[in-house]
Structure 1
Amino acid sequence: MGLIEPGQITVAFTAYFPPISSIDAKGNFVGFDVDIMRAVAEDLGLKINYVNVKTDGLFPGISAKRYDVGMGALVDTKKREQSVDLVDYLQVGSGFIVSTGNPKKVKTLDDLCGLTVASTTGDIGTMYAHDQTEKCVAQGKPGVTVREFPEGAQAMLQLYSGRADVMIHGYPLSVYLVQQSDGRLEVAGEQFNVAPEGMAIFKGNVALRNALMTGLDHIIANGKYAAILAKYHISEAALPHASYNQPRR
């Protein structure tokens, strides 16, 4: 099956981002990424070796074969496919998190010109912010100031303290973070740039890729997949079947 250790799948989660993946008070990995991987592993008859890593450590760890799979709301992009393969299991967009009242009137990426974005290194939001600053400059507008941090909590502090105007995260995480903000934050505009999210695996590991896709298709067919998404109120993120390397961009 192309695993580091037969019978066991080592999965690196960025377990800092509920409800995607986090560690609860008892030390258990929880979240919809965790639940989906657990259901797939159960279907394949595998035990999971859980590993918690920061976002910027996922891809190097997979390339070095320290992990079989990396998960953490990883949007499938052509750039990422240069170093890993991605087995797509969800389709979600991104969202803007701003202070309540949306003082900078952020609704679209074009509204970021001249603003400061706090982001997590390696996150898709960082990519959007850097891409947008090039567009802003090309239009003769001020660029986007991007402040990157290794953990989402650090980026969130920038927003709370007023040192950043906006954060960009996957839409499910954006909604969750706003719910936890005691009314201090809100989601601005609608989710945008809907794209597949994938389980990252070693480039060219066909055996593992096919196994994961088989497991995904099984849990989609038997209803476990739909039940997990409904539990986290993200049913709109469902894919009809497993796929791989289907980048939006």
Structure 2
Amino acid sequence: MFKYMKPALAAAAVVLALSGCGNAAASSPAGQASANAPEGLTTSGKLTLCIDPEYAPLEYYANGSGGDIAGFDADAARALAKHWGVEAKFEVTTFDGLMPGLQTRRCDAIFGGLYMSQARLQVADAAPVMKAGPTIVASPANVDKFKTPLDLCGHSVAAQAASSNAARITSLKDECKQAGKDEPRLTEYPKTAETVLAVINGKSDALIETNVAAAYMASQNEGKLAVASKIFPADTTFGVFTRKNNTLTPALAQALKDLQKDGTLAKIATDNKLEASIVDVG
């Protein structure tokens, strides 16, 4: 928040500059940093975030194809920017372009449904924001076939390219071999929407997705998709990623704790049809 008052006309200009569905971040005038803004922002007065708006209910286009970006991550990113008194700016990229976008300074952070995997933490820092885990989505006729991970052996499984979910199916191949079963056949797609179509169209027997997104997928495809519950443990942490050893890293972690303490993140979760308990900032 601003630590000093502006004249009325300047304040009005700031209000008019707010972006996004009435839930945008407060921002400083162009080129002027807020007194609360942390060090390390690529552009003064702006928090720039790499995001792939193809992952409802975390980040997606409100009208389906463009315009305002909605979802838990988008709303939480705006709240984070507002907490610092800067403007939230989204740099849209594909899922597999998120980390390269961060490393090449297209953005200050990734607030976009990325797991805090060991591989990612070797090249970037991250602050925890949500606890989740993978699950399986299949047609209602087939969903009861999947009760344990080994039930995926011999089946075709769709996953988003370069995701931890895809890696989980790859690692399952050895377990299937050891159990004397056929390997799962993994097909990776650039977008989560394509994994849904793969199951609906019969190209894949199932898709693997985080439980955060799986329920939304099923609700949007009632009668065509169903969720197989409790196949994998909810042992995965989503993080907000920053560049390795960046001065922004500790400030971002503290800001998330502040937003959890004051109830902001819990409200954003429930507003996006998620359980408030899913928020976990460590």
TM-score for both structures, normalised by structure 2: 0.81
**Structure 1 Cα separation of the partners of residues 102 and 71 of structure 2:** 21
1:176-187 mapped onto 2 (5 Å cutoff): 176-187=216-227
Tell me, yes or no, if the aligned pair for 1:171 and 1:191 is still in contact at 8 Å.
no
- Give how far 1:104 is off: 6.6
- Give how far 1:139 is off: 2.8
Choose the corresponding residue for 1:51, options 81, 88, 91.
91
**Structure 1 Cα separation of the partners of residues 143 and 80 of structure 2:** 43
Percent identical residues: 27
Q: C-alpha deviations, 1:210-232, integer Å up to 9, x for none?
A: 11112111111111111111222
Match of 2:44 in 1: 6
- Give how far 1:130 is off: 0.5
Choose the corresponding residue for 1:204, options 238, 245, 265.
245
The structure with the largest strand share of the pair is 1
**Structure 2 Cα separation of the partners of residues 80 and 54 of structure 1:** 17
Match of 1:63 in 2: 103
Tell me, yes or no, if the aligned pair for 1:96 and 1:168 is still in contact at 8 Å.
yes
Match of 1:27 in 2: 67
- Give how far 1:102 is off: 2.3
**Structure 2 Cα separation of the partners of residues 49 and 77 of structure 1:** 26
- Give how far 1:122 is off: 1.7
- Unmatched tracts of structure 2, length 5 or more: 1-38
- Give how far 1:117 is off: 0.7
1:157 aligns with 2:197: yes
**Structure 2 Cα separation of the partners of residues 63 and 127 of structure 1:** 22
Q: C-alpha deviations, 1:137-194, integer Å up to 9, x for none?
A: 2333211111011111112111111110111111121000000103111001226332
1:96-175 mapped onto 2 (5 Å cutoff): 96-102=136-142, 105-175=145-215
129-138 or 167-176: bigger deviation = 129-138
**Structure 1 Cα separation of the partners of residues 160 and 111 of structure 2:** 15
TM-score for both structures, normalised by structure 1: 0.91
- CA gap of 1:193–1:65, structure 2 versus 1, over 3 A, is farther
Tell me, yes or no, if the aligned pair for 1:94 and 1:192 is still in contact at 8 Å.
yes
Match of 2:261 in 1: 221
1:237 aligns with 2:278: yes
**Structure 2 Cα separation of the partners of residues 122 and 237 of structure 1:** 24
Tell me, yes or no, if the aligned pair for 1:104 and 1:165 is still in contact at 8 Å.
no
**Structure 1 Cα separation of the partners of residues 119 and 60 of structure 2:** 26
SS in 1 for 2:238: strand
**Structure 1 Cα separation of the partners of residues 231 and 99 of structure 2:** 26
**Structure 2 Cα separation of the partners of residues 192 and 236 of structure 1:** 18
Tell me, yes or no, if the aligned pair for 1:41 and 1:215 is still in contact at 8 Å.
no
- Give how far 1:103 is off: 5.5
Match of 2:15 in 1: none
- Unmatched tracts of structure 1, length 5 or more: 244-249
Match of 2:18 in 1: none
**Structure 2 Cα separation of the partners of residues 68 and 52 of structure 1:** 13
1:90 aligns with 2:111: no
CA RMSD, 1 decimal: 1.5
Match of 2:78 in 1: 38
Match of 2:6 in 1: none
* Paired letter, 2:94: K
**Structure 1 Cα separation of the partners of residues 185 and 144 of structure 2:** 14
Match of 1:193 in 2: 233
Tell me, yes or no, if the aligned pair for 1:18 and 1:176 is still in contact at 8 Å.
yes
How many residues align structurally? 240
SS in 2 for 1:230: helix
**Structure 1 Cα separation of the partners of residues 51 and 86 of structure 2:** 17
SS in 2 for 1:142: coil
